[in-house]
Chain A
Amino acid sequence: MKQTIYNYCYALFFICACFGCEEKNEENNAVKVIDIQSSVTANISDLFQEFKWVQLETNDSCFVGLFIEKIECYKDKIFLLNAHQSHSNILCFDMDGNFLFKIDRLGNGPGEYTYLGDFFIDKTQECIVLQTLGNEFMQFDLEGNFIKKVRANDEYNTRQVLYLNDSILIACVDPISFPYGYSLLELDRKTFNIRNKSSHIKLLFNTGRSILHTFNNQTLYYSTKDTIYDISNFNQEKPIYYIDCGQKQKQFKKSLQNIPQEKMPKALSAAFNEKNLVYISYIFNNTSWITLSFLKCKNKNNAIYEFALYDKKKEQTYVSEYINFDILNLPSLSNLALIGNDNDRLFIVMDQEFSKDEIAKIKKSKYLNEKEKRMLSERNFSDNPVLLILK
């Protein structure tokens, strides 16, 4: 009798375990893993078919500052959010890198701003929209001429604003920003007033530069818990990708949940420097790739940009550290900022000066024409960066 009871218990345990596994598997299947610890090697020429090198013109009117924060291409124009040590401005170039105009209106007067946080192209009204203060926006035409300033009636602070369609914008809110307790806002495109608020996803700390992205009616949102959600249905976030940044990062993020918000920046900075964690700044989605751009600590107080490409068809991740730059005849390149994309193109900013050895190798590359070889080898440290467009 005793044996029969044990057998029943074993059987019950076995069935539960099997169902449990099934449930877990279903969950795992739904959420795909982007493994940024991956050391799978690849040649960049095997991952992309076309490469375009654009040397951004350098002159007194268009110096690129510390870094480019955002790139948008629209109607054969490249728009850059250019961050100096002091403030930001917008630079516009044509697709060959010739400077067209800039929007740099620092000041307290009409048509001026004291802070520029983000911009986007409003494709319905065909204008550039600058997010200048929490709920204040400035509109310029595509030639850089000022149109108007709009201030929303609702008070809020946002880091990134995303143009979704002809009536809606999505904005993300950091944990310490107003309105407290919310992470996403749905805004009216014309008035910039709040139409809907979401507090489903809790952010642990201030987010990266560009954590919202929309492509083919699918809007993605990266949360600080290293999960990418599909927020196409604004009121129902669905986790679709988990970014595996390693056990250390996982443990650290768990421990962060018990740290008060005011102590968060210090804890993050210490962990970033000492535990070699990654800070994800950008996510992009296009036909072939989910792309992540992240900061990694190289040595104390020296962070570099790296990126990860997740092949949606093959479900394979490639990390820039292991991607051979055979198009330049060089091994992997460090500190490449992948900060923009559109339907089938990725935009990478290269701001380094090559060594003599590297130049000798670049000159032998079979992927570059003479003009490109000259452009890359004669680059000066003070020149504006080169834009590499991958397709």
Chain B
Amino acid sequence: MIRIFFISAFVICFCCCSNPKEKTTENIETRIIQELDQLNLDNQKYPIWFISEGMCSECITKELINIKENEWVNKQLIVLGIFSNKRHFHSIINSIHVYKTIYIDTETSKELINQRSSPFYAIYDAEKSILLNRMNPDPCNAQKTIEYYENIKKTIGDGDSIP
């Protein structure tokens, strides 16, 4: 019985340690929430878009076009980016006009930048200080993003809590 307990504990520990994606997600999201909390926004929900250095350029370009072509998202969106040079971040998001931008220096987030991720959208609930409805867009499927916008527009507009 004791042996089974130890083996189970070992397997659980091993699984936790060998799943860097989960850990990455958690770390990036934690950092994003920290940054958003510092904005002291009204207790509402806000759509966010996260990008970082080294991410697939086509994925970012396609989303820039989607954002630009959706007026509602343009007005509401908060864009966060982890880059080694502030100029590189601003040069990307300069072609769109969004609600707020947050630059995160790689110097303060070295671990995060080394852990590859892809651009994603989410909803930031300022009241509860949490991220909801995370979505990784598909560069070959603009419709997925457009449907996501419609979905979050209803949610944020209605003020309903998101499951």
Taking beta carbons and an 8 Å cutoff, which residues of A are in contact with B? Answer: 58, 60-61, 63-66, 82, 84-87, 89, 104, 106-108, 114, 381-384
Contacts and interface: CB of A to CB of B under 8 A. Distances in A.
Contacts of A87: 57, 61, 64, 95
Nearest to A66: B88
Contacts of B86: 382
B87 A61 contact: no
B69 A84 contact: no
Given A107-B68, A108-B65, A85 B55 contact: yes
B122 interface: no
A380 to B, nearest CB: 9
A61 B88 CA distance: 13
Nearest to B119: A86
Contacts of A383: 87
B92 interface: yes
How would you classify the secondary structure of chain B's contact residues: helix, strand, loop or mixed?
helix
Contacts of B94: 60-61, 63, 104
B85 interface: yes
A114 B87 contact: no
Given A85-B55, A108-B69, A114-B65, 12 more contacts: A63-B87, A65-B91, A82-B91, A84-B92, A86-B60, A86-B92, A87-B61, A106-B61, A114-B61, A381-B85, A382-B86, A382-B87
A61 B94 CA distance: 7
A110 to B, nearest CB: 13
Contacts of A382: 85-87
B145 to A, nearest CB: 13
A86 B64 CA distance: 8
B110 to A, nearest CB: 16
Contacts of B92: 65, 84-86
Given A58-B87, A64-B87, A85-B88, A104 B95 contact: yes
B53 interface: yes
B88 A60 contact: no
Contacts of B75: none
